[in-house]
Chain A
Amino acid sequence: MPRLGVFPRPQTETPLQTNSVDGVVASHLCLVPHKAFRHFPAEERRIAPCETRKEHPILHNGSGSKKIRRRLCSAGFRVVAFFTLPVLLLQAQAPKPENPMGNGPEVVAAGRALFDQTCTECHGPEGREGERAPALAGNRRFFRLSEGAIFDTIKKGIPGTAMPALGLPDEDIWRIVAYIRNLRGTASDSFVPGDPDRGAMLFQGKGRCQQCHMIRGQGGTIGPDLSSIGAQVTLKHLVESLTQEQPIPTGYRPVKVITQNGEAVEGVAKNEDEFSIQILDTHNRLHLYDKSELREVVHAKKSLMPHDVDKQLTAEEFQDLVAMLSRQARAKVHVEEQGESEIGR
């Protein structure tokens, strides 16, 4: 059965929230969620078709359900569903963590220690995929999403596969569950050590992040606003965005155009098709062109985002920066859990 709208919502006061799964929407540090979402190939999109939605218990609950369903099934339902549905779910459900041990940092740390002893041999370090068993975190869909489902798997194993019943005490299994959920959460769900205040100084100063990125109204606009980045990507992805070359997100491809009059304009392309292009330059000015007005359009192959931030900063500084970024959650986005609206593949 599709698991529609039934998923655990941890309490907000716990620093370790494990409600979201990485990589669903945010494949880049530089992201505009809706655009990044649209940009994903169809097989990566996780929202169920309208037919599936018809069975949604929340959508049938209350007087507004028909209207909501109509909206979901309109041409733009993906965008609407991405933004509206989670909010409806948040409002409709009283979140309750299943894990009796909680999701605090000490539980996750204990879970990690147990995981490292027990699970990494097959599933790989940090659940990134091992020699003998699949990844438990990262860009894939998961069959087992709820904490209860993960618990049962560890306790009972999966018959007919190499996954054994582990025979650990229940408390230890719950600790491992907390750690696995933590691996799948967004950066703001994770406990990230470091000094966020110093990270903020580095964002403005040595790291030069603020030249391109804005946080809460302060900074540049040539890169994505990072006011909610911690709530949008996993910690793993956050770090990789600072340290590895990433694909250019939609709306941020560097572009240079030469007009028929010989004027050159450089910036990022907010949008482009065969007939027009919309460019934001480094002075926060928009330039809107009909292609017939342009002599030349040159696209950069690479993002403006540097991917050696860890080398420009000391290890401690880098950790402080990541600690600060991971805490940016102006708008707490509920990224739809992988497979929450459909069966895993």
Chain B
Amino acid sequence: MRSTRFGFLWIALGILASSLSAQITEKRLEQGPGNDWLTYNGSFDSRRHSSLDQVNLSNVETLTAKWIFHVPGASRLESVPIVADGVMYVTQPNEIYAVDGRSGRLIWEYHRIPAIPKGLNRGVAIYGDKVYFTTADDYLIALDAASGNEIWETKMAEASEGFWSPTAPLIANGKVITGVAPGDRGLNGFVDAYDAITGKRLWRWNPIPKPGEPGSETWAGDSWKTAGGDTWLTGSYDPELNLLYWGIGNPSPDFNGDVRVGDNLYTECVVALDLETGKLKWYFQFTPHDVMDWDAVEIPILADVPYQGKMRKLMATADRNGFYYILDRVTGQFLHGNAFVHQLNWATGLTADGKPIRIPGIEPSLTGTKVCPSSIGATNWMSPAYSPQTGLFYAVSLEGCGMATKSTEAFRPGGYQYRATGDVLLVDDSWKVYVRAFDLTTGNLVWEHERVGSTGFGGGLLSTAGGLIFSGEVTGEFVALDAKTGKIVWHFNTGQEISAQPVTYAVNGTQYIALEAGSNVISFGLLAPRKESSK
């Protein structure tokens, strides 16, 4: 006899369990980060600014580790944990772990079988009662968020050709938007939209125009066929304009532009796509005819602020090429640009319409030329943040150069590298990593904090209403900075290399700040949180 104490469960089983689980609605996605952290960048506008203020300047010194979740087999996690209703979803390639956000205890785990061991993964997206995930064999997978059961899978592109996806999807208005990383392999990227319920592909936008299409005149000969244009970082979305903003990666071959004479549209652009149709509304190209692998995939931050006396819908982004840009995101009009690193030797500035004024000869050569920034860029995948409280745009920036060379390497099908050489990073005393705060509307530097001892970027940034900027360093130091001054107000040595951006969330009135460090996820909270102060 079964225990009668479990009567309810047995009765409930008599009714086919319907899906009554907590739903992640469009409205919740639009609200931005508070108790939940629902998208890669926290919100559609990608500000990475949370309204939580339980942890703030007055008490951050008592921030302490609450739990650690070790991701089996991981070495250098680079994903952003997604948190919904107290459940945290953590990924590494081909694997998802659902963890209790308060205790760090495992709820379920998913392993793709068979799994191609390739690249890295940047995290899940969540919508309705499902989580969405891209794989190393370039599938989009939907799983039941409560149980981890696989609901459907859709093949995005052919893995055997060299396609794969590390991208954390963005979900807007029931559409799952994904990107792809054929990673400098001469394969043309795409931005896809899939129906969140059925997994059916709704549209595909190709960054590389085919002959006869607008932009095709910017590619010499057949160079468009092996042209690149990755879409590997998550973009932003404006619900009011119904426009999706996505950064497009470098042209192929990366370092030899001789075989692809022209501006090479729409590589190195931010593009505004109509969410319903996938049609291009406007584009802005940061680096025409790039030869330094400066993918323009960096996260575009959307802000509605007064600009030169008038409210404007702005987009701000710090590009890998070393310039900070402000665009009107309705039209794509260039409004302002300035260098945000000192070590920038390839251009003297920007023209009135935002085009770089190049210095001839500062580009990869057969014998090697010093180019600043180096190919890893003045910034990279580490997410920037924007605080409406301070009006500051925060970005990780790297001062450094590379000795860049090119070659006549030919394209080989099958997913092989097609870079035509690269650069040797000149890591000397001048090579430094900073967290910098700029006035969003002027680009003026307000403060900077050096990540002392860092030879690599480290992770991106988190801004909170507690007046704090959280920043994880490649040295393993997790640091909190005063958002107004950049002064260090707290730190914790995680003991492992940090390459990911922190998030914050709250469960039952307690705020947590979580971060992936090396192979672990660590969640922090106040030693004795005063619950009444939480939002």
Residues 34-58 of chain B, each 1 if its beta carbon lies under 8 Å from chain A, else 0:
0000000000000000000000000
Contact partners of A330 in chain B: CB under 8 A: 150
Q: Contact between A283 and B109 (Cβ–Cβ < 8 Å)?
A: no
**Which of B73, B108, B116, B507 has most A Cβ within 10 Å?**
B73
Stretch at the interface among B25-33, B99-107, B165-173, B422-430: B99-107
Q: Is B5 within 8 A of A278, CB to CB?
A: no
B106 adjacent to A34 (CB under 8 Å): no
Q: How far is the CA of A74 from the CA of B76 in the complex (A)?
A: 13
Q: Does B12 contact A (CB under 8 A)?
A: yes
Q: Which residues does chain B contribute within 8 Å of A86, judged by CB atoms? A: 114
Q: How far is the CA of A100 from the CA of B103 in the complex (A)?
A: 56
Min CB gap A92→B, angstroms? 12
| Residues of chain A with a CB closer than 8 A to B20's CB | 283-285
Instruction: Give the shortest distance, in Å, between B281 (CB) and chain A (any CB).
Output: 35
Which chain B residues border A77 with CB–CB below 8 Å? 72-73
CA distance A197 to B102 in the complex (A): 45
Pick from A140-148, A188-196, A263-271, A337-345 the stretch touching chain B.
A263-271
Q: Determine the distance from Cα of A302 to Cα of B10 in the docked complex, in whole angstroms.
A: 13
Chain B proximity mask over A297-336: 1 for CB below 8 Å, otherwise 0: 0101110100000000000000000000000001111000
Chain B stretch 98-132: residues in CB contact (< 8 A) with chain A: 100-103, 105-109, 111-117, 129
Residue of B nearest to A279 (CB): B107
Query: Is B150 a contact partner of A333 (Cβ separation < 8 A)?
Result: no
- Taking a contact as CB atoms under 8 Å apart, the answer to whether A300 and B113 are in contact is no
Residue contact A74 to B151, C-beta cutoff 8 Å: no
Chain A 53-86 against B: per-residue CB contact (8 Å), 1 yes, 0 no? 0000000000010011011001111011001101
Is the CB–CB distance between B107 and A270 below 8 Å?
yes
Kindly supply a per-residue 1/0 record for chain A positions 145-175, scoring 1 wherever the CB is within 8 Å of any chain B CB and 0 otherwise. Answer: 0000000000000000000000000000000
- Please determine whether A214 and B3 come into contact, CB atoms closer than 8 angstroms: no
Chain B residue at smallest Cβ distance from A286: B146
Which residues of A have CB within 8 Å of B115? 83-84, 87
A227: B residues at CB distance < 8 A: 149-150
Query: A225 — which chain B residues lie within 8 A by C-beta?
Result: 147, 149-150
The interface size bin for chain A is: 35 or more
Counting CB contacts under 8 A, is A251 at the interface? yes
Which one of B9, B10, B108, B144 lies within 8 Å of A251 (CB-CB)? B108
List residues of chain A with CB within 8 A of the CB of B492.
Answer: none
Report how many residues on chain B are interfacial, defined by Cβ distance under 8 Å: 51
B5→A280 contact, CB < 8 A:
no
A273 proximal to B (CB < 8 A)? yes
Among B17, B101, B108, B109, point to the contact of A222 (Cβ < 8 A): B17
CB contacts (< 8 Å) of A64 on chain B: these are 117
Q: Are A304 and B8 closer than 8 Å at their CB atoms?
A: no
Q: Are B13 and A273 in contact (CB under 8 A)?
A: no
Do B114 and A71 touch across chains, with their CB atoms under 8 A apart?
A: no
Whether B13 lies near A222 (C-beta < 8 A) is yes
Residues of B within 8 A of A80 (CB): 72-73
Interface 0/1 of B150-166, CB less than 8 Å to A: 11100000000000000
Task: Given A220-B16, A221-B146, A276-B105, answer yes or no on A266-B8 (Cβ-Cβ < 8 Å).
Answer: yes
Given contacts A282-B13, A285-B21, A286-B87, contact A271 B100 (CB under 8 A): yes
Inter-chain contact B9/A221, CB cutoff 8 Å: no
Docked complex Cα distance between A120 and B112 (Å): 41
> From B1, which residue of chain A is reached at the shortest CB distance?
A302
Nearest-Cβ distance from residue A292 to partner chain B, whole angstroms = 11
Would A302 and B2 be within 8 Å (CB), given that A288-B100, A288-B102, A333-B113 are in contact?
Answer: yes
Is A87 in contact with B9, judged by CB distance below 8 angstroms? no
Min CB gap A228→B, angstroms: 8
Whether A214 pairs with B114 at a CB distance below 8 angstroms is no
Complex: A319 Cα to B147 Cα, angstroms: 29
Residue B19 is within 8 A (CB to CB) of chain A in the complex? yes
Closest Cβ–Cβ distance, residue B68 to chain A (whole Å): 12
**Residue from the list B22, B117, B146, B507 in contact with A280, Cβ < 8 A:** B146
CA separation between A278 and B98, bound complex, in Å? 11
Residues of B within 8 A of A71 (CB): 73, 75
A10 to B132, CA, bound (A): 34
Give the interface centre of A67, A77, A227, A290 by most chain B CB atoms within 10 Å: A290
- Candidates B12, B75, B105; contact of A273 at CB < 8 Å: B105
A284-B75 Cα distance, complex, nearest whole Å: 33
Asked whether B147 lies within 8 Å of A221 as measured between CB atoms, the reply is: yes
Per the bound structure, the CA–CA distance linking A221 and B12 in Å amounts to: 13
Residues of B within 8 A of A185 (CB): none
Residues on the B chain within 8 Å of A251, using CB:
108
B530 interface residue (CB < 8 Å to A): no
Q: How close is A276's CB to chain B, nearest CB, in angstroms?
A: 4
Q: Which of A67, A76, A285, A302 contacts B146 (CB 8 A)?
A: A285
A256 is an interface residue with CB less than 8 A from chain B = yes
CB distance from B22 to the nearest CB of A (A): 7
User: Which chain A residues border B146 with CB–CB below 8 Å?
Assistant: 221, 280, 284-286
The residues of B that contact A331 with a CB separation of less than 8 Å are: 112-114
A256 to B519 Cα, complex, angstroms? 34
The interface bits of chain B over 59-81 (1 if a CB of A lies within 8 angstroms of the residue's CB, else 0) are 00000000000111101000000
Residues of B339-357 contacting chain A, CB below 8 A: none
Residues of B within 8 A of A281 (CB): 12
Q: Closest residue to A288 on the B side, CB-wise?
A: B100
Chain B residues whose C-beta falls within 8 Å of the C-beta of A271 in the assembled complex: 100, 105-107
CB distance from B136 to the nearest CB of A (A): 11
Complex Cα–Cα for A302 and B5 (A):
12
Contact B114 A332 (CB under 8 A): yes
A330 to B103 alpha-carbon distance, docked (Å):
33
Q: Are A278 and B72 in contact (CB under 8 A)?
A: no
Contact B17 A211 (CB under 8 A): yes
CB pair B147 A332 closer than 8 Å: no
> What residue of chain B has the Cβ atom nearest to residue A277's Cβ?
B105
Q: Mark each residue of chain A from 203 to 223: 1 if its CB lies under 8 Å from any CB of chain B, else 0.
A: 000000011101011001110
Judge if B86 is at the interface, Cβ distance under 8 Å. Answer: yes
B6 & A256 in contact (Cβ 8 Å cutoff): yes
Contact of B308 with A by CB under 8 A: no
Contact A276 B102 (CB under 8 A): yes
With A221-B146, A225-B149, A227-B150: A282-B72 Cβ-Cβ less than 8 Å: no
Residues 223-255 of A at the B interface (beta carbon under 8 Å): 225, 227-228, 251, 254
In whole Å, how far is B86's beta carbon from the nearest beta carbon of chain A?
A: 5
Q: Which of B512-533 contact A (CB under 8 A)?
A: 519
A211 to B14, CA, bound (A): 8
Query: Which of A79, A212, A273, A288 touches B86 (beta carbons < 8 Å)?
Result: A288
Inter-subunit contact B17/A221 (CB<8 Å): yes
Q: Is A90 an interface residue (CB 8 A)?
A: yes
From A70, which residue of chain B is reached at the shortest CB distance?
B75
A76, A256, A285: the one contacting B22 at CB < 8 Å is: A285
Chain A residue contacts of B109, Cβ below 8 A: 34
CB atoms of B152 and A217 under 8 A apart: yes
Using Cβ atoms and an 8 Å threshold, which residues of chain A touch B3?
A: 298, 300-301
28 A-B residue pairs with CB within 8 Å:
A64-B117, A71-B75, A74-B519, A77-B73, A79-B73, A83-B113, A87-B113, A87-B114, A211-B17, A214-B144, A214-B147, A221-B17, A222-B17, A227-B149, A251-B108, A254-B6, A256-B6, A256-B8, A266-B6, A267-B9, A271-B100, A275-B103, A276-B105, A282-B13, A284-B144, A288-B101, A288-B507, A298-B3
Closest 3 CB pairs of A and B: A76-B72, A221-B147, A80-B73
Known: A76-B73, A300-B2. 16 other contacts (CB 8 A): A34-B111, A77-B73, A83-B113, A87-B117, A210-B16, A211-B17, A212-B13, A212-B17, A220-B16, A251-B108, A267-B9, A270-B107, A283-B17, A283-B19, A285-B146, A286-B85
Q: A residues near B, CB below 8 A? A: 32, 34, 64, 67-68, 70-71, 74-77, 79-80, 83-84, 86-88, 90, 210-212, 214, 216-217, 220-222, 225, 227-228, 251, 254, 256, 264, 266-267, 270-271, 273, 275-276, 278, 280-286, 288, 290, 298, 300-302, 304, 330-333
